[in-house]
A and B are shown apart, each in its own frame.
Chain A
Amino acid sequence: MNKVFLSCAEAVADVPDGAVIMIGGFGGAGGMPQCLIQALREQGAKNLTIISNTGGLAGFGALSGSVTITHNVLIESGQVRKVVASFPVSASPSRPNAFEVLYRQGKVELELVPQGTLAERIRAGGAGIPAFYTPTGVGTAVAQGKETRVFYGQECVLEHALKADYAFLRANRADTTGNLAYKGTSRNFSPLMATAARVTVAEVDEILESGCIDPEVVATPGIYVKRLVKR
Chain B
Amino acid sequence: MPERLNREAIAMRVAKELPDGAYVNLGIGIPTLVSQFVPEGRTVAYHSENGLLRYGPLAAPGQEDIDLINAGGQFLLPVPGMAFFNSAEAFAMIRGGHIDVTVLGAFQVSERGDLANWMLSSRGVGNIGGAMDLAAGAKRVIVAMEHTDPLGNPKIVRECSYPLTGQHCVSLIITDVAVIEVGAAGLRLREIAPGWTPEAIQEITEPRLAVADNVKEITL
Residues of chain A touching chain B, judged by Cβ–Cβ distance below 8 Å, are: 26-31, 53, 60-64, 86-89, 91, 93, 100, 103-104, 110, 112-120, 122-123, 134-142, 172, 182-192, 219
Establish whether residues B67 and A183, one from each chain, have CB atoms under 8 Å apart when the complex forms.
yes
Question: Which residues of the other chain, A, contact B18 by a CB distance below 8 angstroms?
Answer: none
CA distance A138 to B164 in the complex (A): 10
Within B188-211, the residues touching A (CB, 8 Å) are none
CA distance A212 to B130 in the complex (A): 36
Establish whether residues B91 and A115, one from each chain, have CB atoms under 8 Å apart when the complex forms.
yes
CA distance A63 to B127 in the complex (A): 23
Establish whether residues A136 and B127, one from each chain, have CB atoms under 8 Å apart when the complex forms.
no
**Selected interface stretch from B118-126, B141-149, B171-179:** B118-126
User: In the complex, which of the residues B52, B66, B114 contacts A61, with contact meaning CB atoms closer than 8 Å?
Assistant: B66
Q: Looking at the assembled complex, report how far the CB atom of B141 sits from the nearest CB atom of chain A, in whole angstroms.
A: 13
Establish whether residues A87 and B128, one from each chain, have CB atoms under 8 Å apart when the complex forms.
yes
Question: Which residues of the other chain, B, contact A93 by a CB distance below 8 angstroms?
Answer: 120, 123
Chain A interface SS verdict (over half): loop
Question: Which residues of the other chain, B, contact A138 by a CB distance below 8 angstroms?
Answer: 136, 166-167
Q: Looking at the assembled complex, report how far the CB atom of A45 sits from the nearest CB atom of chain B, in whole angstroms.
A: 25
Of B28, B114, B130, B137, which is in contact with the most chain A CB atoms at under 10 Å from its CB? B130
Of B51, B94, B128, B137, which is in contact with the most chain A CB atoms at under 10 Å from its CB? B128
Q: Which residue of chain A lies nearest to B125 when distances are taken between CB atoms in the complex? A: A89
Closest 10 CB pairs between A and B?
A: A116-B91, A184-B67, A116-B133, A119-B87, A114-B132, A139-B167, A61-B73, A30-B66, A183-B67, A29-B66
Chain A to chain B contacts (Cβ below 8 Å), 7 pairs: A91-B28, A104-B124, A114-B131, A138-B167, A139-B114, A187-B51, A188-B87
Q: Give the B interface residue count (CB, 8 A).
A: 47
Establish whether residues A140 and B163, one from each chain, have CB atoms under 8 Å apart when the complex forms.
yes
Q: Which residue of chain B lies nearest to A191 when distances are taken between CB atoms in the complex? A: B86
Contact with A along B61-87 (1 / 0, CB 8 A): 100111111110111000000001111
Question: Which residues of the other chain, B, contact A60 by a CB distance below 8 angstroms?
Answer: 73
Q: Is B49 an interface residue (CB 8 A)?
A: yes
Q: Is B4 an interface residue (CB 8 A)?
A: no
User: In the complex, which of the residues B52, B73, B85, B95 contacts A134, with contact meaning CB atoms closer than 8 Å?
Assistant: B95
Whether A113 touches B120, Cβ cut-off 8 Å, given contacts A28-B69, A184-B67, is no
Whether A26 touches B69, Cβ cut-off 8 Å, given contacts A117-B133, A140-B132, A184-B84, is yes
Whether A88 touches B52, Cβ cut-off 8 Å, given contacts A63-B64, A185-B68, A185-B84, is no
Q: Is B150 an interface residue (CB 8 A)?
A: no
CA distance A31 to B50 in the complex (A): 11
Question: Which residues of the other chain, A, contact B75 by a CB distance below 8 angstroms?
Answer: 61
Establish whether residues B163 and A141, one from each chain, have CB atoms under 8 Å apart when the complex forms.
yes
Q: Which residue of chain B lies nearest to A66 when distances are taken between CB atoms in the complex? A: B66
Q: Is B165 an interface residue (CB 8 A)?
A: yes
Question: Which residues of the other chain, B, contact A88 by a CB distance below 8 angstroms?
Answer: 125, 127
